[in-house]
Structure 1
């Protein structure tokens, strides 16, 4: 029982399930039906079936490990009592109207907390969009479209369900899946310190992205961050509008600097936007840890290369001189009007571009390789050279691409499969590279 049933249940009950499209209980069933094990729509007023599953009157009529509570706030404490008595190990409470909503809501949340504590029941929420674990076909959420999210290697743990949903769909739109999304909401008894260790042990999760407003369990948070071996990236919000935050997830007023200290002292990364949160998580999930902060930057266009080198230099990257051997290789490859120092600029994509990348990547002075290239139909991307580098050189390679989506996508997917994270704008590629620079210090 408990937290493990949130991550790996054998059966799921949807309490308040509905056959009426548009109702929360119907949307939750539309996602839950993807689960490989038994799914029980619970509603004493239900008649017949919903999505091929027969209604049952009570959670007591099921053997569910995980319950999705699709009922209004006033009914929720009673439902949690029913779950506890039925032996349910974990519950997700979607409704708002608890600690964030005044004294009456606080009393409701305290009732739930006491019941959960007495019966070893893990509660996600209340006031949450739920959680999904695509590689286990768990879609315990009411958000339409979540049942189509593919598996990936980044997990997102978000205090705000809206941020969790935004991050999940952004990863999906950009061609990546997710190893899990967990909306903590009001954190009645499932907080960062409970979820992070489970993800740290999950072989599917290669990086953990956190959205934080604040937690009363900050000491426990610090302990699990220090113990985790999986890379962690955090986005701390609610640093100004404290009343708004309290009305959202009942989070305490805590400083950005406190979380920054916890993360950076333990090898973590701070992000300033959802996009940075995801980009940093992706590059850490894909890349080996660099030996140092020395960047070899290869560009096929000088303008983006200058922007990227400016950004990286401001954030502590170094651009070492290339070895004599590398310079000799580059002299044989490059035309006279190109820039053959470090950064190396080829002027435009060229048939030998992959060989230029190879030369810089194999340079003993280079710890991290960052590349910017515009797609050209006649050339594509240097997949063969990148494949050899991925096998033979244990260095992170970050690739930033520009070009039309459909012709570019097959090569981009192949690069991702090789462990080479790709980005679609100079500032995103530069930021991702700067995260590796920090790791290399």
Structure 2
């Protein structure tokens, strides 16, 4: 069943036509950048409105919105004109039958008493015509369903499963930019400004009703009605997570909020209480907001607070355990039986506890086998798998010993795979034969890799190789991986395996290793949060796999998953 607010905002998110009031040919004006932003991708009709120009960016312009022909309805009006002119233009929009608006212009409640009066006047006019609007004093919005970008200035944004509403345009733009760098996309993005008309809880309610939106983000400086927010948002959080960044823990921040958006910040303790009641997850920074969002996008909810940590280095494990404990997670104690099991695959110097640290052991197959052993334990609700970046760090190692390694690589590869005999004309052979060659290729390459860099036994390598080859045609791997391996297997001449090919061979395994993690996650229905040691944000892969840059971030994300899981259990 569709909510009333979803129907009311349909002309905003799925307009057939848009008028940009204040569209300009002057590159230095917001009317130019906003108008060209709308033209970038939107397939509906676009009308530039400018009282002194006949042509704007190659399109016929209209002096007022009422000059647009009667047989050409306008669903959405975007205002990029001085604030004092907006009441009269809003009257024209109501007469024209416009049903949605975006007021980018500033000079309203954020400026004080007179600005508030002007804002209230605009709201009264819009309400007479049932015209719902974003803003004022906002930086625009994005709707993936209509491919509409209505931004003051260009913001790179990807389509994806997130709905995001922000009272801070600069913060919102920075979050979207950072999300794009991480390959994270949005279905709706709203810079809502002073929220004179549509309130933050209404956006969230609408996002909650949208099946394309899986995660909801919000940057909130203040609310007009806290009780209404809790009432509406608590219904949404029963269906999907809402993550909010709320500044204003200090007096200085609260004063800055008042001058920025005209909002009353309120006590931070009151906000914490309201968020808890509504089931909202609170973030403390834009970076944290994205980290938590990625966690919810990629992980199942944990059944409890018990966490196991797998680490290739003791110090990283200690830091992660410390972070987990400080956030209320339980670094679960391993039983004597479990320790005895690990004694069989790790050297005597391993940590004999949680975090599980092989203490520098070079048996990489054992390190990749241990996580699933932990996941099978009933007392473990989730796993933090540290240092897991597969072979992604090895290309740099290869480049440092490139010539020597390449020669050795070719020499070892030749007797294992008759690759020098594979001619280009053979690349069209039947699928079964091709799959067989790919399987042999993977087994052989893994054997070489673990022989060069590790101490794994042959039978261990073969077992691990079987796991990987079984994933090639699974639901957890993009079908394009078959093409990638086909290219690598069907090298026409052994001399084609140059230095770059060595790196391609190592890189080709990364999707399979990531798929193995996802497979474990689906089978055991437990979160597996992986980390690398880059301390830099990484990229969301295939919408399902993400490696966090530190154990501290992994612990934080896991704690928020636990918080939301417990909220749902309370009903």
What residue is the counterpart of 1:402 in the other structure? 533
- Residue 46 of structure 1: CA displacement? 2.5
How many Å apart are 1:214 and its aligned residue?
Answer: 1.1
User: What does the per-residue CA deviation read over 1:163-211, in whole Å, with 9 as the maximum and x for residues that have no partner?
Assistant: 2112111111223222322112111111112101111112222221221
> Where does structure 1 lack aligned partners over 5 or more consecutive residues?
none
Aligned: 1:357 with 2:371? yes
Correspondence for 1:230? 240
| 1:36 matches 2:50 | no
- Following TM superposition, by how much is the alpha carbon of 1:316 offset from its aligned partner in structure 2, in angstroms? 1.2
Contact kept? 1:210, 1:233, Cα under 8 Å: yes
Q: Quick one: distance in 1 between partners of 2:310 and 2:146?
A: 40
Contact between 1:323 and 1:365, CA under 8 Å: does it hold in 2?
no
1:255-274 correspondence runs (5 A): 255-274=267-286
Task: Pick from 18, 23, 36 the counterpart of residue 12 of structure 1.
Answer: 18
SS at match of 1:402: coil
The more displaced of 134-143 and 326-335 is: 326-335
Change (3 A) 1:342 1:24: same
What is the aligned partner in structure 2 of residue 435 from structure 1?
560
State the match for 1:210 in structure 2: 218
Q: Give the direction of change, closer, same or farther, for the CA distance of 1:107–1:317 in structure 2 (3 Å limit).
A: same
Bigger fraction of residues in strand: 1
Aligned residues of 2:101 and 2:131 also touching (Cα < 8 A) = yes
Please identify which structure carries the higher helix content: 2
Distance in structure 1 (CA, Å) of the matches to 2:203 and 2:225: 13
Tell me the SS of whatever aligns to 2:43.
coil
Looking at structure 1, the residues matched to 349 and 233 of structure 2 have their Cα atoms a distance apart, in angstroms, of: 49
Q: Deviations over 1:386-405 (max 9, x none)?
A: 13213322112211123599
How many Å apart are 1:135 and its aligned residue? 4.8
Q: What residue in structure 2 maps to residue 424 of structure 1? A: 549
- Please tell me whether residue 21 in structure 1 is matched to residue 27 in structure 2: yes
C-alpha deviation, 1:314, in angstroms? 1.3
- In structure 2, stretches of 5+ residues that fail to align are 1-6, 395-448, 450-505, 567-571
Instruction: Answer yes or no: is the 8 Å Cα contact 1:13–1:59 preserved in 2.
Output: yes
Give the Cα separation in 1 of the matches to 2:368 and 2:145: 34
Distance across 2 between alignment mates of 1:218 and 1:440 = 24
The correspondence of residues 166-177 of structure 1 with structure 2, limited to 5 A, is 166-177=174-185
Given that residues 374 and 403 in structure 1 are in contact (C-alpha distance below 8 angstroms), is that contact kept between their aligned partners in structure 2?
no
Contact 1:397 1:420 in 2 (8 A): no
Q: 1:383/1:347 Cα in 2 relative to 1: closer, same or farther (>3 Å)?
A: farther
What are the Cα deviations for residues 230-263 of structure 1, in whole angstroms up to 9, with x where unaligned? 2111222134233332221111241112221122
Q: Report if aligned partners of 1:396, 1:420 keep a CA contact under 8 Å in 2.
A: no
Moved more, 108-117 or 369-378: 369-378
Displacement after TM superposition at 1:325 (Å): 6.7
Cα distance in 1 for residues equivalent to 2:359 and 2:28: 54
Assess, with a 3 A threshold, how the Cα gap between structure 1 residues 324 and 58 changes in structure 2: closer, same or farther: farther
**Equivalents in 2 of 1:20, 1:260: separation in Å?**
46
- How much does 1:324 deviate? 6.6
Alignment of 1:304-315 (within 5 A): 304-315=316-327
Deviation (angstroms), 1:73: 0.9
TM, length-normalised to structure 1: 0.90
- In structure 1, C-alpha distance between the alignment counterparts of 2:333 and 2:112, rounded to whole Å: 62
Distance 2:280 2:190 in 1: 19
Q: What is the CA distance between 1:329 and its match in structure 2?
A: 4.9
- TM-aligned CA deviation for residue 374 of structure 1: 5.7
Q: Tell me which structure has the larger Cα radius of gyration.
A: 2
Equivalent residues in 2 for 1:271-420 (5 A)? 271-322=283-334, 326-327=338-339, 329-347=341-359, 350-373=364-387, 375=389, 376-377=393-394, 382-403=513-534, 413-414=540-541, 417=543, 419-420=544-545
Give yes or no for the alignment of 1:65 onto 2:190. no
Secondary structure in 1 aligned to 2:290? helix
- Residue 116 of structure 2, aligned match among 106, 117, 140: 106
Q: Does residue 77 of structure 1 match 2:83?
A: no
1:58 to 1:352, Cα distance in 2 relative to 1, 3 A: farther
Change (3 A) 1:24 1:321: same
Picking from 128, 142, 163, the partner of 1:132 is: 142
Q: Counterparts of 1:85 and 1:423 in 2: how far apart (Å)?
A: 53
Cα 1:87–1:340 change in 2 (3 A) is farther
In 2, Cα distance between the equivalents of 1:329 and 1:205?
Answer: 43
Q: Is the 8 A contact 1:294 1:437 kept in 2?
A: no
Separation of aligned partners in 1, 2:199 and 2:104: 16
Normalised TM-score (structure 2): 0.71
Q: How much does 1:328 deviate?
A: 5.3
Partner of 2:197: 189
Say which of 252, 271, 282 aligns to 2:264.
Answer: 252
Distance in 2 (CA, whole Å) between partners of 1:233 and 1:65 is: 31
Q: Which moved more, 1:231-240 or 1:330-339?
A: 330-339
- What's the Cα RMSD here? 2.4
